[in-house]
Structure 1
Amino acid sequence: MDRKALIAHCLAYEGALEDEPFATVNATVMRHEGNGKWFALICELDGVLCVNLKCEPMLALFLRTTYPGVRPAWHMNKLHWNTVEVDAVPQEELFGMIRHSFDLTAPKRKKRAG
């Protein structure tokens, strides 16, 4: 999968926005429209297309032991974020990790009074 296809996949989520906040780094941030939180940071590390994704800590550890291309996140909280080499995990698994990150960072729904 290339960078353009990865961005397109992330933009398919309702309320997802693309942002490039870093002038000196070739990185694309995918964020929620509702709260501005990041759910993916797409970049190249040592020439390899990667994406940083938020993850529940126990699942993050499991994924790191299951896939050599998943490691503690570059430049982010190592407990809650993984760096995933895009072509080092099955596409279905990658899409599941993106969905998980999207869901974890989504705006909280307001409770109805009553």
Structure 2
Amino acid sequence: MTLDNFQAFCLSLPDVTEEFPFGPDTLVYKVKGKMFALAGIDTFESINLKCDPEEALELRERYQAVVPGYHMNKKHWNTVHLDHSIGDTMLRDWIKRSYDLVRASLPKKDR
């Protein structure tokens, strides 16, 4: 997945904003103000995605490229290294799951 593909996919989801709250090097995607994905834009070597805690552990055990979220709550976030061991289709699915998880946690009026 390229940075352009990542950006385009995240922005294709409803009510998503692209922001830089941690400085110009970290791209953050939010739904209704809540973060669901972020990545460094200088090297674009990994992405952080929110994940159900049980699924997060399963993915870490199954895929070497998936580790606890870097600079994030390790229980709820995974870092996915973009080493080409995980295909774009699966990455898009994980991004969508992250988005859906965050959206489901929003107050009913914001969903």
CA distance in 2, matches of 1:73, 1:44: 17
Distance 1:44 1:84, change over 3 A: farther
Structure 1 residue 38: Cα displacement: 0.3
Superposition pairs of residues 8-23 of structure 1, within 5 angstroms: 8-23=8-23
TM-score when normalising by structure 1: 0.84
1:76 alignment partner in structure 2:
72
Name 1:28's counterpart in structure 2. Answer: 27
1:47-66 maps to which residues of 2 (within 5 A)? 47=43, 49-66=45-62
Unaligned runs of 5+ in 1: none
Is 1:48–1:85's contact at 8 Å kept on the other side of the alignment? no
The size of the alignment, in residue pairs, is 106
Q: For 1:66 and 1:108, how far apart are their aligned partners in 2?
A: 33
- Report the residue type matching 1:14 in the other structure: P
- The answer to whether the aligner puts 1:95 opposite 2:92 as a matched pair is yes
CA drift at 1:90: 1.7
Unaligned runs of 5+ in 2: none
> Is residue 6 of structure 2 the alignment partner of residue 6 of structure 1?
yes
Cα offset for 1:88?
Answer: 3.1
Task: List, as ranges, runs of 4+ consecutive aligned residues in structure 1 with deviation greater than 4 Å.
Answer: none
Q: In structure 2, what is the equivalent of residue 40 of structure 1?
A: 37
Question: Would you say the 8 A contact 1:29–1:42 is kept in 2?
Answer: yes
Aligned AA (2:26): A
Structure index of larger Rg: 1
How far is 1:72 from its partner?
0.2
The structural deviation recorded for 1:80 is 0.5
Give how far 1:48 is off: 5.3
Mapped contact 1:19–1:29 kept (Cα < 8 A): yes
Identity of aligned residues (%): 38
Amino acid at match of 1:7: Q
